[in-house]
Amino acid sequence: MSAIWRHEEDYALHREYLAGNVDIGTILYERTYLPLCRFIRRQSADSILNSQDTEEVISETIYAAFCRSTSYKGRGPFSAWAYGIAKNKLRDAYREKQKYMKRHYGWSDFCEFGADPLDILIKKPLYEAVRTSLNALPSQMRAILTLSVIEERKIKEISMILGITRNSYFEQYNRAIELFRHYFNKNYHFLCD
C-alpha cells in the first residue's frame, strides 16, 4: 500500500465517517487507537505525568481527533494528524501538571526535571536539608563546597579563586564537610520527623 494511496484512503474513509457512516469511524478508530496509545505512553514515560494523566491524555486526544475531524484534509495519514493533536494534548497536560505542582507544593525546581510526584515527595526533604545546611555554613566553607562539589572545579582553580594555598584548601574542605554533615543530619531529621 503506497503512502499516497493510504492518505487518499484515509481521507475517503474520513469523509464517509463525517457523512454518518459509523462503521467507517470504527475502522479509523482501530487504525489510530493502538499506535496513538503507544506514542502517548512513550512520550509521557519520563515526565511528571502519572498513568492516570496519560490515560486522560489518550481519551482527550481520541475525543478531539473525532470531534475536530472536520479539519483533517488528507495531507497525511489520519493517525499522523491525530499524533499532532496528541503532542498538543501532552504539552497542555504537562504544563497543567507543572502549574499544579508549583502551586500546591512550590517545587518548581523538581518540575523542571520532569520528576515523578512520588520521587518529589521523597527527594524534597533531602533537597531542603542540603540547601539549608549549605546556607548555614560560613561563606568561605560554603564557597569551597560549592566550587568543589557542585561546580566540580579543580583544587588548583579553587585555590586561585579563593586566594588560599593547597594545604589550606584541604583543611577548610575537611572542616566544611564535617560542619555540613552536622547541619545536614540535624536538618534532615528535623524535616523527616
Q: Determine the Cα–Cα distance for residues 25 and 113; give it in Å rounded to an integer.
A: 39
Q: pLDDT tens across 119-160, in order? A: 666 777 777 888 888 888 888 888 888 888 877 778 988 888
| pLDDT score of 4 more than 50 | no
Q: 133-141 — which CB contacts under 8 Å span 24+ positions?
A: 133/180, 133/183, 133/184, 133/187, 134/180, 136/183, 136/187, 137/176, 137/179, 137/180, 137/183, 140/172, 141/172, 141/175, 141/176, 141/179, 141/180
Domains of the chain by start residue, with CATH: 3-105 (1.10.1740.10), 116-192 (1.10.10.10)
For residue 193, the model assigns a pLDDT of 46
Check: pTM over 0.75? Answer yes or no.
no
For residue 25, the model assigns a pLDDT of 79
Q: pLDDT tens across 164-177, in order? A: 999 999 999 999 99
Q: pLDDT tens across 74-130, in order? A: 777 777 788 888 888 888 888 887 777 666 555 554 454 455 666 666 777 777 888
